[in-house]
Amino acid sequence: MKNTLESIAPPVADKKPHKLTIHNDTRIDNYYWLNERENKEVLDYLNAENAYTKTMMKHTEGFQGALFEEMKGRIKENDTSVPYKLNGYWYITRFEIGKDYPIYARKKESLEAEEEIMFDCNKMAKNHAYFKLGGISISPDNTMAAFSTDIISRRQYTIKIKNLKTGEIYQDEIKNTTGSITWANDNKTLFYTKKDEETLRSYKILKHVLGTETTKDVEVYHETDDTFNTFVYKTKSKKYLVIGSSSTLSTEYRILNADKPHGDFKIFQKRTKDLEYSIAHFKDHFYIITNANKSTNFKVCKTPEFNTTKENWKDILPHREDVLVEDIEIFKDYLVVNERENGLNRIRIMHWAGTEDYYLPFDNETYNAYIGNNPDFESDTLRYGYNSLTTPSSVIDYNFKTKLKDIKKEQEVLGGAFNKANYESKRIWATARDGVKIPISIVYRKGIKLDGTNPLLQYAYGSYGSTIDPSFSSIRLSLLDRGFIYAISHIRGGEYLGRHWYENGKLLTKKNTFTDFVDCSKHLISEGYTSKKHLYAYGGSAGGLLMGVIINTNPELYNGVLAAVPFVDVVTTMLDDSIPLTTGEYDEWGNPNQLEFYNYMKSYSPYDNVVEQNYPNLLVTTGLLDSQVQYWEPAKWVAKLRDLKTDGNTLLLHTDMDSGHGGASGRFESLKEVALEYAFLLDLEGIRH
């Protein structure tokens, strides 16, 4: 790439030194001015970077187009979800050929009944560069749908209400919400979550009565602790409205009978430092997943519905050191538990009477299984999902009584070329520098030789306890079929091997996340899967932070790196509590207003640690309207890398001027960015078709 276009000069951002001083320590930020979103000079710079990227990648434009069509061609355009039944109606989401957005429909009582289209997002998205339908909440009497839309891409949703009988959209309009809406049982009272205009923190629960002025909506709850976010929902039993408050390390719930929406919410169990819990209601009890009493991997308890404080909680599934409880689903006869042992999902079926207790069988070495949509207590059927790195996603109904599985749908991979027998997946283990074993899930096309010549894309995330499961991707086939190996490193900071895996990859142990990734890279090289000339790394958001660290510490290991919406200016962002999400992140990264965390954070923050050295080829992507990682972080980072790097490798910044953290909104539009990323990697390998 660099050889054919060396004569093209990249943009150079002006240096405007800005002093940042705290703890008697001064940092000079030459590119601080890039945070002025409305400044023409800033926009000109971003546009110049986009133009440079376009020019540098111009020779791949035909290939990008071919990759886009190839990836799109595997996806069934006229696709339909597996219907689910709720309160007398079957609900279906479907796509039509040639259209980018979903259509939400329902049928009364029978799947043979006439279809009723509730929302056609293709019509709603017209004239918008970005469009997303957030939540849809159907009134208990089935006559109305409260729905939310975002046309900016900052996750600030506007709520409206539609009469499903007449098609009329009422005048009620509520702005700046999370997009989630909950009906009380009276069919006229709605609860929703308001966002702080500046920080975008979900901080207030309000109540709206249909037909009244939204300016007169009643504030039901105000979350004053700026490290907490709040939300509202209704229990599966439909009996209780629930207001939740959560931070990284503690939770609190308030409950109210949904038949009495103008009553007062009662605290379920008041917040306590490091106490996490979630609740589900069934008959005359609440069921609780909690880490109470040092249950690091969580346990399941029950408590009478009118005695909900912690001293009343009784274990029904005790804590286990080697099994993480992730989720539960309640049925009239069965409790279903989603567990994780040694990194693998397990679905456990437990009869309330104690007569049955068993696991659904899964026979893959590395896979992803999860509980699906099960809105009905009375059902004899559990809906769950399954896929693996080589097996497309399936939606499966399992009958508790007959023990039979019914595959309702398996993801179709169109184009005629896909056969799962052509691919192989496995799980290997790398040894980290402190002796800990790190699992890596790998997939590749059968027949490759492990002689170090294979290009390999290594992916990881490693933050917030978020587990990256080894899931199927039809898009990824465009790399696998061209000889790439794909590897997911299940590094510390996620929860793949249980809660301790997360605890040992955050705050003052955060560097384990980065060194684990590097040690996995070295293992993949030493075992012959790839070599330094053919190893590529990819991460987004907090995974983009990971990318920033590894190219500072070990640039020699990677030929190319993809960093999507990367969180790279850690210290400055975590010191600015006006930025969305900052205060709620202190439990993850630490609060740099405290010297110990400041020093630790500064020691790894990618932007603060860019130095004069060679860096790998790098493609950085961001969105101008991103509310989670502000566009200026990657923009400043690229500007600083341009100034200091000592190599002739390619460095590209692509900013989507219309979207935010999640990228483009259309079903296929986002594939254009993937095509750019894949073309970048494949071009570095000399693969151009």
Active-site amino acid positions: 541, 626, 661
- Residues 442, 486 contacting (CB under 8 angstroms): yes
285: which strand partners? 282, 304
For 407, other C-beta atoms within 10 Å of its C-beta total 11
Secondary structure class of 616 (helix, strand, coil): coil
- Crossing angle, helix 61-73 and helix 670-684, to 10 degrees? 120
Adjacency order of strands within the sheet including 394-399 = 367-371, 381-388, 394-399, 405-410
Q: Is 682 exposed, middle or buried (0-12, 13-18, 19+ CB in 10 A)?
A: buried
Q: Please, what sign has the CA dihedral across residues 60, 62, 68, 70?
A: negative
- Residues 317, 302 contacting (CB under 8 angstroms): no
Contacts with 306 (C-beta within 8 Å, 6 or more apart), sequence order:
none
Contacts with 253 (C-beta within 8 Å, 6 or more apart), sequence order:
242, 243, 244, 245, 267, 268, 269, 277, 279
HEC letters along 525-571: HHCCCCCHHHEEEEEECHHHHHHHHHHHHCHHHCCEEEEECCCCCHH
Q: At which residue do the structure tokens 């004899």 appear?
A: 380
- Residues 505, 347 contacting (CB under 8 angstroms): no
Burial readout 153-185 (b: 16 or more C-beta within 10 A, e: otherwise): bbbbbbbbbbebeeeeeeebebeebbbbbbbbb
Q: Phi then psi for 111, rounded to 5 degrees?
A: -70, -10
d(CA 209, CA 265): 17
Task: Give Rg (Cα) of the chain.
Answer: 26
Secondary structure class of 310 (helix, strand, coil): helix
d(CA 190, CA 206): 8
Q: At which residue do the structure tokens 């109470």 appear?
A: 292
CA angle 151, 154, 20 (to 5 degrees): 150
